[in-house]
Amino acid sequence: MAKPKLLITRKLRDGVEARAARDYEVTLNPSDRLLTEAELIEACRKVDAVLPCHSERFSAEVIAAIGPGLKIIANHSVGTDHVDLAAAKAAGVVVTNTPDVLSDATAEIAMLCMLGAARRGAEGDAMIRAGKWDFWSPAFMVGRQVTGKRLGILGMGRVGQVVADRGRGFGMEVHYHNRRRLPAHLEKGAVFHETMESLLAVSDVLSLHCPTTPESVGIINARTLAMLPDRAILVNTARGALVDESALVAALRSGKLFAAGLDVFRTEPGGNPEIAALPNVFLLPHIGSATEETRDAMGARALDNLDAYFAGREPGDRVA
């Protein structure tokens, strides 16, 4: 029996690619070059399945142009905002993701962004690298301590819950807003807020962990930033589209926000030059899940979904 044809759009871990090559007639991308839309369409027309990352966009137009040959999009990501799920479903294309396995790694990055922002990590690093550290006093490089502060979590899903646990380890008081209140054994004493506005009012540190939907795009904007306590800290390790970056720049320049820690941006790769020019921002290039362990687990989870589909079983992580 012929093996299903599989396209893997980006360079994955060696073990993941070896497993894929064992079980599928696989097309790899050893140069790790981002495919153009035309190249993606052409490549997907030749295969039964594609294993993409969030860098490949499957709009309704792309899905229509690919045609009926493609059977499944097995994402190497937990987010699916790069895929038009309604269009995929209408075309009979199954879509899966890789939940659970990246929660710890992403939560670690959220804590790194929080601490880097609060303790002025970017400024200190830049100063030493430039050879400009020539002074010290008790007033030098004074940041904000997170211990005892109120940690607001917008989106208390898998990652949000791990961030809450890590925050408790720093002696933070956890508050959250979610579409639904968590049961007590998951809430673990965190304070539930029925509205986002109520959460914002008490968030000394606000960490974003909600998905990108039409309703959540730009949810952090001039109006909502004004609701935060003065000199709050914003952390975003979810998706750049959640934040109105012009409003964020204004809040950072005015001192409304003490600092921000960001792993995601509206334009990726590249980021935002206006944000990058500010001293009170700790920046990372979307590496929330970039650990050896998590990348291995994400690849394995995506292949598990493919294996289930081609064995005639329902994929465990089907989202469309």
Nearest to 240 by CA among 82, 59, 40: 82
Retrieve residue 99's tokens: 């939940």
185 contacts: CB under 8 Å, gap ≥ 6:
none
Rounded to an integer, the average pLDDT of 34-55 is 98
From 3.30.360.10, 3.30.70.1020, 3.40.50.720, 3.90.1150.10, which CATH number describes the 5-101+292-310 domain?
A: 3.40.50.720
Catalytic residue among 10, 286, 295, 301: 286
116-143 pLDDT per residue, tens = 999 999 999 999 999 999 999 999 999 9
Q: Where are the domains of the chain?
A: 5-101+292-310, 103-283
Instruction: Determine the Cα–Cα distance for residues 232 and 295; give it in Å rounded to an integer.
Output: 33
Instruction: Determine the Cα–Cα distance for residues 276 and 86; give it in Å rounded to an integer.
Output: 36
Of the chain, the percentage scoring pLDDT greater than 70 comes to 100
Confidence check: pLDDT of 289 > 90 = yes
Catalytic residue flag (residue 10)? no
Domain 103-283 matching CATH 3.40.50.720: the answer reads yes
Instruction: Determine the Cα–Cα distance for residues 207 and 155; give it in Å rounded to an integer.
Output: 9
Rounded to an integer, the average pLDDT of 50-54 is 97
Contact 144, 118 (CB under 8 A): yes
Rounded to an integer, the average pLDDT of 30-52 is 98
Q: Please spell the DSSP secondary structure of 228-276, one letter per residue.
A: SPTTEEEEE-S-GGGB-HHHHHHHHHHTSEEEEEES--SSTTT--HHHH
Catalytic residue flag (residue 268)? yes
Retrieve residue 48's tokens: 């039964």
Residue 131: burial class (beta carbons within 10 Å; 0-12, 13-18, 19+): exposed
Assign 203 a pLDDT band (cuts: 50, 70, 90).
very high
Residue with tokens 């005892």: 148
Confidence check: pLDDT of 151 > 90 = yes
Catalytic residue among 61, 194, 197, 268: 268
238-287 pLDDT per residue, tens = 999 999 999 999 999 999 999 999 999 999 999 999 999 999 999 999 99
Catalytic residue among 239, 245, 295, 301: 239
161-189 pLDDT per residue, tens = 999 999 999 999 999 999 999 999 999 99
Please report the pLDDT score of residue 66 as a whole number: 98
Instruction: Determine the Cα–Cα distance for residues 197 and 188; give it in Å rounded to an integer.
Output: 22
Same fold, 5-101+292-310 and 103-283: yes
Which pTM value belongs to this model? 0.95
Residue 311: burial class (beta carbons within 10 Å; 0-12, 13-18, 19+): exposed
Instruction: Determine the Cα–Cα distance for residues 307 and 141; give it in Å rounded to an integer.
Output: 53
Confidence check: pLDDT of 1 > 90 = no
pLDDT, the chain, mean? 97
